[in-house]
Amino acid sequence: MPFDVKLDEAEHLIALLSFEASKKSEAFHLAITDRAVFLPRKKLFAVKDPTYCERVPLNRVIEASVEKLSPYFLWTLGLVMMLVGTVTTGLMMLPILKGERGELSGYPPAVAVIGLVIPFIARRRYGLSISIVDEVFRWKPPLLVDKASGSEVERFLSLAADAFRQAGVRLRDERDILLPASGAASKKRAYPLANVDGESAQNRGVPRACYQCGGPLRIGHWEDWNGFLFQCPHCGRTHGRHWNAFAIMLGSILLNALSFLFTMRWKLALPFLLGFVLLHAGLGIALNRNQLSETLELLLSGTAFLAPLAINAVLLLRHEVSLDSATATKHKIDGISPR
């Protein structure tokens, strides 16, 4: 069932908001008028669609809060995943480093990388809480890795906070800095701005349609072949191409640091490549002179071999999530614009 907001006579819409974590996820809707708050609900038992829209009069709303979410459970989960993934990866690589036969899998390092990332994305998470006379309605945003999605969460919460203020509802905001609703748009771009196809000064490259809005773009041949991410000048969202996870992981193992040329733009890839060349050269000299213990040799060899795999796994995760970054939208209904 759609989120159906029906206004009474002389009732004014303040904001009709939606937050969509990705194209495949279900959107969260919220509407605020000068008389009521419209909340998404789910029926316990339903033959078809269990979702419906509930109208809550403002005289039943006690307080709205933008509250900080506790990170301790996610910190614990991330630590467990990182330890399990690291130990499993080490046990998987140990026979290979000793010259014995072994099997490789991308799952153990992926678990370790996800466990490493979770504490960073759980560090500053905020949700929306609406205290009603007989209950508390809470919305927690999903775990989002990319900065663009984090900015959209901030924008959604700021839009909701502004709407509650206009409706006369008491608001409590636990964020350190109160961001304006348009704050996400004023932040620095996470990716280069793509050229608009048809510009006379930008004739080189490959014509492409924006992954998000279909607008005409022109992308450089190397960037297009690698599927690097750009910001669309039409819709402001992220354009690119999905990466093949198996190819990225296999290339990280076979090509080692050379694989950075296919996962990073050259200005960032070259310093990483040079650093790993020096690491391998120094490790080779130390091994030839027998200056290291067997344990340290295995540790440094494993680091030199697995570090590109771990780095590219993080880049792969960030790339895929950024392509389906979240969006916060302020709508209008039946030709009625929010105030």
Q: Tell me if the pTM is above 0.75.
A: no
Position 27 in a domain: no
Q: Which range among 9-13, 37-41, 83-87, 261-265 shows the weakest confidence by mean pLDDT?
A: 83-87
Q: Which domain holds residue 215?
A: 195-239
Q: Specify the pLDDT at position 179.
A: 47
Query: Considering its fold, how many domains does the chain have in total?
Result: 1
Report which of residues 28 and 204 the model is more confident about. 28
Asked whether residue 299 carries a pLDDT value surpassing 50, the answer given is: yes
- Cα separation, 15 vs 83, in Å, equals 45
Position 269 in a domain: no
Position 229 in a domain: yes
- Cα separation, 261 vs 250, in Å, equals 14
Cβ atoms of residues 17 and 31 within 8 Å:
yes
Position 110 in a domain: no
Banded model confidence at residue 34, pLDDT cuts 50, 70, 90 = very high
Please name the residues in contact with 203: beta carbons below 8 A apart, sequence gap of 6 or more: 218
Position 186 in a domain: no
Report which of residues 335 and 155 the model is more confident about. 155
Q: Specify the pLDDT at position 336.
A: 57
Report which of residues 100 and 18 the model is more confident about. 18
Burial 156-194 (b: 16+ CB within 10 A, else e): bbbbbbbbbebbebebebeeeeebebeebeeeeeebeeb
Query: DSSP assignment, residue 59?
Result: G
Banded model confidence at residue 199, pLDDT cuts 50, 70, 90 = low
Cβ atoms of residues 201 and 230 within 8 Å:
no
Q: Specify the pLDDT at position 183.
A: 45
- In degrees, rounded to 5, the angle at the alpha carbon of residue 145 between the alpha carbons of residues 302 and 311 is 20
Position 233 in a domain: yes
The model's pLDDT over 84-123, given as tens digits with 9 standing for 90+, comes to: 988 887 788 777 667 777 776 767 877 887 888 888 777 7
Residue 99, CA distances (Å) to 15, 96, 219 in order: 64, 5, 44
Report which of residues 44 and 260 the model is more confident about. 260
Q: Specify the pLDDT at position 35.
A: 94
- Cα separation, 150 vs 125, in Å, equals 9
Position 17 in a domain: no
Asked whether residue 178 carries a pLDDT value surpassing 50, the answer given is: no
